[in-house]
Amino acid sequence: MTRKNKHGLSHTDLTSTLPDSWLPFTTTAKLPPLKGVVCQDRAMRAVDAALSIRTRGFNLFAAGEAGSGKTSTLVPLLETRAAVLPIPDDLCYVYDFRSPDRPRPIRLPTGRGRLLAREMERVTLELERMIPRILSEGTFGHIRAGIQAETRRRVEELTRRAEQHARRLGLELDGRDGDMRVVPLYHGKPIDEEAMFSLPARVRRQLEKKILAFHAHAESLSYNRRLLEREHDQRLLEAEIRAITPLVEELIGELAGRFCETSPAVGDYLDQVREHTLENHRHFLPREDRSAEDEGETELPSGAPDPRVVYVVNVAVDRSGQDGAPMVVELLPTASNLCGYLEYRETPEAMVTDHSMIRAGALHRANGGFLLLQASDLFAQEGAWESLKRALRHKEIRVQESSVGGDLRQRRAGALKPGAVPLDVKVILIGSHDLYYTLRQEDEDFRRLFKILADFEPSMPRTRENVLDLSRFAGQVCREEGFLPIHRGGMRRLVEYACRQAGHKERMTTRRADLLDVLAEADVISRGATADAIRAQDIDMAIREAALRQDSLPSSLARDISEGTVLIRTDGLAVGQINGIALYDLAGSSFGVPVRITARTYAGRRGVVNIDREVHLSGSIHDKGSLILIGYLGGCHAERQVLGLSASITFEQSYDEIDGDSASGAELYALLSSLSGMPIKQSIAVTGSVNQLGEIQPIGGVNEKIEGVFRIFRERGLTGEEGVMIPMANVQNLMLDREVIEAVKQGLFHVHAVSHVDEGIEVLTGVPAGKQRKDGSWTPGSVNEAVARRLSHLAGVTKRAFQVALDKAL
The residue ranges of every structural domain in the chain are 19-56+458-549, 57-79+322-456, 88-321, 566-800
Position 660 scores a pLDDT of 54
In this model, does residue 611 exceed pLDDT 50?
no
Query: DSSP assignment of 551-577, as one string?
Result: -HHHHHHHHHHHTTSS----SSEETTE
Q: What is the pLDDT at residue 616?
A: 46
- Specify the higher pLDDT residue, 805 or 504: 504
* Domain over 57-79+322-456 is classified CATH 3.10.180.10: no
**Mean per-residue pLDDT for 685-692?**
92
Question: Could you give the count of Cα atoms lying within 13 Å of 796 in the half-sphere of its Cβ?
Answer: 5
User: What whole-number percentage of the chain has pLDDT above 70?
Assistant: 83
Q: Mean pLDDT of all residues in the chain?
A: 85
The SS3 call for residue 399 is coil
Residue range 230-235: mean pLDDT, rounded: 86
Q: What was the pLDDT predicted at 192?
A: 62
For the ranges 525-534, 566-575, 649-658, 791-800, the one whose mean pLDDT is highest: 525-534
| Positive or negative torsion for Cα 350, 356, 362, 364 | positive
Mean pLDDT value across residues 563-572: 83
CA 12 – CA 741 distance, rounded (Å): 8
Reference 603, options 777, 799, 808; nearest CA is 799
pLDDT > 90? residue 167: no
* DSSP reduced 3-state for 119: helix
CA quadruple 603, 609, 614, 618: dihedral, nearest 10? 160
Of 39-43, 54-58, 605-609, 619-623, highest mean pLDDT: 54-58
CATH code linked to domain 19-56+458-549: 1.10.8.60
Asked if the model's pLDDT at residue 572 lies above 90, the reply is yes
Could you list the beta-strand ranges (E) of 543-690: 573-574, 577-586, 589-602, 607-610, 646-651, 680-681, 684-686, 689-690
Mean of pLDDT values over 325-344: 95
- Separation between Cα atoms, residue 738 and residue 724, nearest integer Å: 16
**pLDDT at 292 > cutoff 60:** no
pLDDT band at residue 147 using 50, 70 and 90 as cut-offs: confident
Q: Mean pLDDT over residues 78-101, rounded? A: 95
The pLDDT tens digits for 8-19 are 999 999 999 899
The answer, yes or no, to whether residue 204 has pLDDT greater than 80, is: no
Under the banding of pLDDT at 50, 70 and 90, the label for residue 801 is low
Check whether 607 has a pLDDT greater than 80: no
Q: Residue 207: pLDDT above 80?
A: no
Instruction: Give the mean model confidence (pLDDT) for residues 103-129.
Output: 94
CA distances from 8 to 177, 204, 726 (A): 121, 137, 10
What pLDDT was estimated at residue 735? Answer: 95
pLDDT(346) > 90 = no
Most confident option among 129-138, 255-264, 636-645, 725-734: 725-734
Q: What percent of the chain has pLDDT over 90?
A: 54
pLDDT of residue 301: 45
The fold adopted by the segment(s) 566-800 is Ribosomal Protein S5; domain 2 (3.30.230)
Q: Give the residue, 90 or 285, on which the prediction is more confident.
A: 90
CB atoms within 10 A of CB 122: 12
Phi, psi of 608 (to 5 degrees): -90, 120
Closest alpha carbon to 315 in 110, 95, 91: 91
pLDDT at 41 over 90: no
Rounded distance between C-alpha atoms, residue 170 and residue 187, angstroms? 10
Q: Which residues pair with 583 in a beta bridge?
A: 592
Residue 631's pLDDT is what?
79
Side-chain half-sphere CA neighbours of 458 within 13 A: 11
User: Alpha-carbon distance 259 to 112, whole Å?
Assistant: 8
Task: Return the pLDDT at 622.
Answer: 45
What gap in Å lies between CA 238 and CA 225, rounded to an integer? 20
Mean local confidence (pLDDT), 216-235? 78
pLDDT band at 216 (very low <50, low <70, confident <90, very high): low
> Please, what's the b/e burial string for 366-381 (b: 16 or more CB within 10 A of its CB; e: otherwise)?
bbbbbbbbbbebbbeb
If pLDDT is split at 50, 70 and 90, which confidence band does 203 have? low
Q: Band of the pLDDT at 608, cuts 50, 70, 90?
A: low
Angle at 410 between CA 408 and CA 414, to 5 degrees: 105
User: Could you tell me which residues come within 8 angstroms of residue 567 by beta carbon, excluding any fewer than 6 positions away?
Assistant: 596, 652, 653
- Give the pLDDT mean for 213-217: 66
Higher pLDDT, 136 or 397: 397
> Identity (one letter) of the amino acid at 745?
K
The pLDDT, as a whole number, for residue 375 is 96
469-489 residue pLDDT tens:
999 999 999 999 999 999 999
Average pLDDT score over residue span 687-695: 91
CA distance 630 to 522: 51
Band of pLDDT at residue 247, cut at 50, 70 and 90: very high
Reply yes or no on whether the pLDDT at 302 is more than 50.
no
CB 472 within 8 A of CB 36: no
Which residues are CB-contacts of 673 (< 8 A; sequence separation ≥ 6)?
575, 576, 577, 578, 599, 679, 680, 761, 764, 765
pLDDT in tens, 382-421: 999 999 999 999 999 999 876 555 555 555 556 789 999 9
At residue 2, the pLDDT reads 43
Instruction: Write the pLDDT tens digit of every residue in 766-779.
Output: 999 999 888 888 89
Please state, in angstroms and rounded to a whole number, the distance separating the CA atoms of residues 223 and 229.
Answer: 10
DSSP E strands, 302-458: 314-317, 327-329, 341-342, 345-346, 351-352, 358-359, 370-374, 396-397, 421-422, 426-431, 452-455
Most confident of 195-204, 480-489, 509-518, 792-801: 480-489
> Tell me, what's the pLDDT at 389?
96
**Which residue has better confidence, 799 or 583?**
583
What single-letter DSSP state applies at residue 780? T
Q: What is the 3-state secondary structure (H, E, C) of 199-222?
A: CCHHHHHHHHHHHHHHHHHHHHHH
Identify residue 741 by its one-letter amino acid code.
I
pLDDT confidence of 563, banded at 50, 70, 90? confident
pLDDT at 696 over 90: yes
DSSP-based three-state secondary structure for 668: helix
Per-residue confidence band for 289, with pLDDT thresholds at 50, 70 and 90: low
- pLDDT at position 337, please? 96
DSSP structure class, residue 286:
-
User: What pLDDT score was predicted for residue 161?
Assistant: 73
